[in-house]
Amino acid sequence: MASNGKVITCRAAVAYGPGQPLVVEQVQVDPPQKMEVRIKILFTSICHTDLSAWKGESEAQRAYPRILGHEASGVVESVGEGVIDMKEGDHVVPIFNGECGDCIYCKSSKKTNLCGKFRVNPFKSVMDSDGKCRFRNKDGIPIYHFLNTSTFSDYTVVDSACLVKIDPHAPLDKMTLLSCGVSTGLGAAWNTADVQTGETVAVFGLGAVGLAVVEGARTRGASKIIGVDINPEKRIKGEAIGITDFINPKEIDVPVHEKIREMTEGGVHYSFECAGNMDVLREAFLCTHDGWGMVIVLGIHPTPRLLSLHPMELFDGRRIVASVFGDFKGKSHLPLFAKQCMAGVVKLDEFITHRLPFEKINEAFQLLLDGKSLRCLLHL
């Protein structure tokens, strides 16, 4: 391309402070350095991790100015020295939990999907190769990176370990969902829990990640999928995707875990905590069946509170684990997952509730903040 090796001036939505509206302005994007790729973002969306970072809910998220965003899809514009698995024009999906393929973690086969060098790291705000930013504003001030991706920009630079090449025939708008939400939730059901036909599931929090869990449990043939949410409107969307029962904690006079145990003859096989709330997490733990129940933690917990759990409670046979990116190894597993989505094994349409031009990114944030959207797709 004509821009290869040159600085690109383009639009980006820059966060200058916690809770402040993002500023859509011109920024400069440097060429990719060794083992880096510069991509043209075509679609991006917002998830609760972006929302949490925008609010500045932890010290790790307070590097400003910063370009947020980690759910996206696009096309390779240029590649840096050493990149051999991608070329200009390839269709790609950025991933916040990278896979270098060479470290002890990446070579661990099924033991972990973390990478020693490019795992998700909210403290990281610069590129790995030289500790510098690839973005600058009009005044020449460096703009920090976010979660290995920074997709709220027409162009972004990412490490090649954090970029997945997908089928060129895959619909790029829907493939955006594979960068985070759908992969995280569905992967938790498929990979972490390994839900089997006839087993029972409870999902606490029916946002995009929670509903992706529902989709994963549905495709595996779960006999009962109980959705739990304080927003009564989530029932309709949940039923459209696959929940068999719905519980609004505000509408029952007993603890949620007691209600679920009653509905499932002692508790579910698996519960998924997708709310980022400690009290909800305890209910999710207690609603699983003793002897074999497992709770999978997916929610983002910015609170300094610690888990309310006595060690002796684990002696009843229940287990508690967390799942990062649905235990998918991004570069190894996502190309096949994309093909499964293309083949209709997984339904993605239900997750895109709104579409807006990139300039209305602050409206998209508000829709998520108000609980009115699952994923608002922004067109760049």
Task: Give tens-digit pLDDT for 268-302.
Answer: 999 999 999 999 999 999 999 999 999 999 998 87
**Tens digit of pLDDT for each residue in 101-110?**
999 999 987 8
From the list 103, 219, 354, 363, the catalytic residue is 103
Give the tokens for residue 362. Answer: 């602050």
Query: How much is the pLDDT for 161?
Result: 97
pLDDT over threshold 70, residue 375: yes
For residue 159, list its beta bridge partners.
36
**Tens digit of pLDDT for each residue in 152-192?**
999 999 999 999 999 999 999 999 999 999 999 999 999 99
Helix 208-219, helix 234-241: angle, nearest 10: 30
For residue 10, indicate whether it is catalytic.
no
pLDDT over threshold 60, residue 339: yes
pLDDT over threshold 90, residue 122: no
Mean pLDDT, range 201-216, rounded to an integer: 97
This prediction has a pTM of 0.94
For residue 49, indicate whether it is catalytic.
yes
For residue 274, indicate whether it is catalytic.
no
Q: Would you say 293 and 267 are in contact if contact means Cβ atoms under 8 Å apart? A: yes
- Pairing relation of β-strands 224-228 and 245-247? parallel
From the list 36, 38, 44, 47, the catalytic residue is 47
Q: Single out the residue of 91, 87, 88, 54 nearest to residue 70, CA to CA.
A: 54
For residue 37, list its beta bridge partners.
79, 158
pLDDT over threshold 70, residue 60: no
Query: How much is the pLDDT for 244?
Result: 98
From the list 36, 38, 44, 48, the catalytic residue is 48
Instruction: Find the range with the poorest average confidence among 60-64, 65-69, 129-133.
Output: 60-64
Determine the 3-state secondary structure of 32 from DSSP. coil
pLDDT band of 61, cuts 50, 70, 90? low
For residue 162, indicate whether it is catalytic.
no
Instruction: Find the range with the poorest average confidence among 17-21, 60-64, 111-115, 289-293.
Output: 60-64
Look up residue 95 and give its amino acid: I
From the list 38, 44, 99, 100, the catalytic residue is 100
Q: Single out the residue of 147, 83, 157 nearest to residue 118, CA to CA.
A: 147
From the list 91, 99, 115, 145, the catalytic residue is 115
pLDDT over threshold 70, residue 58: no
Q: What is the mean pLDDT of the chain?
A: 94
pLDDT over threshold 90, residue 303: no
Taking residue 5's Cβ as centre, other Cβ atoms within 10 Å add up to: 11
- Higher confidence at residue 61 or residue 236? 236
pLDDT over threshold 90, residue 2: no
User: Phi and psi for 325 in degrees, rounded to 5?
Assistant: 55, 35
Determine the 3-state secondary structure of 225 from DSSP. strand
Distance between CA 139 and CA 270 in Å, rounded? 52
For residue 136, indicate whether it is catalytic.
no
% of the chain exceeding 90 in pLDDT? 87
From the list 180, 274, 287, 376, the catalytic residue is 180
From the list 36, 77, 106, 218, the catalytic residue is 106
From the list 36, 38, 49, 192, the catalytic residue is 49
For residue 9, indicate whether it is catalytic.
no
For residue 333, indicate whether it is catalytic.
no
From the list 36, 71, 77, 283, the catalytic residue is 71
For residue 156, list its beta bridge partners.
39
For residue 38, indicate whether it is catalytic.
no
pLDDT band of 48, cuts 50, 70, 90? confident
For residue 233, indicate whether it is catalytic.
no
Mean pLDDT, range 245-268, rounded to an integer: 97
Mean pLDDT, range 63-92, rounded to an integer: 96
Q: Would you say 8 and 28 are in contact if contact means Cβ atoms under 8 Å apart? A: yes
pLDDT over threshold 60, residue 8: yes
